[in-house]
Amino acid sequence: MPSPDLAARLLHRDDRVLVLDKPAGLPVHRGPRGGPSLEDWLPALAFGKKRLPQPAHRLDTDTAGCLVLGRTKPALAELGALFAGGLARKTYWAVVRGAPPAPEGVVDAPLLKHSTAKAGWRMLVDPAGQPARTEWRVLGSAGGLSWLELRPRTGRTHQLRVHCAHLGCPILGDPRYGAPSGDAACRGAPECDAGRLHLLARAIALPLDPPITAIAPPPPHMQAALAACGWREAA
């Protein structure tokens, strides 16, 4: 992907913490196969500090939105404790195919990593897995799509993607847990990009002193589908 101007994508900056609006498609960490990642552009976020900022939590490559970074060792340790303790309040938006069974609810379904030589690994709902809990509510719907607000209360790998699929409404553009791209999922939003994951880390609230809150705007590839479901961009 082209070199992103990450400094222009900061949602919050102080002497200890940064909150970045991470672009979709940018891995947070360099993978075993190499390629561009957030690590390549961390020097642009140092702002005079000798120590480069470091991510305090995970965000999938194809998920856009709020990513928290610590600028000092003490800040990173404090942030790590917040995320590990479930004290960081995370809010996500997703556009899904179909609709959940009610206007709001909770998915309480444990997740376990399964691997096969043929298909590789994926997370599955399994009673033997780790506890996983997601609160959800419908914000809008149209044309076979629904716009959901998701609040994960645990932080399992691919939790929101698996839980939405478990509800019967996989996230639009999810190649692993959803339907193939190019189907009729976008019939209510003819300009939407069904081939990209429609998942946004919309907001983060950190109970620090002083508290930090940040809100990320929807990325361009999600806007048509969101608009079809009732979202309107603020003036």
Q: Is there a contact between 133 and 154 (Cβ–Cβ < 8 Å)?
A: yes
- Distance set, CA 168 to CA 24, 33, 107, 133, 177 (Å): 24, 33, 12, 16, 11
Tell which residue, 81, 78, 104, has the closest CA to residue 14: 78
SS3 for 12? strand
Catalytic residue (one of 60, 174, 183, 193): 60
- Distance set, CA 120 to CA 28, 115, 176, 220 (Å): 21, 5, 11, 31
Q: What is the CA radius of gyration of the chain?
A: 18
- Distance set, CA 193 to CA 38, 51, 149, 173, 221 (Å): 24, 38, 20, 8, 6
Distance CA 94, CA 109 (A): 19
Q: Is 158 left (phi over 0), alpha (psi -120 to 50) or beta?
A: left
Task: Please indicate whether residue 40 is annotated as part of the active site.
Answer: no
Distance CA 94, CA 178 (A): 13
Distance CA 140, CA 196 (A): 20
Residues annotated as catalytic are 60
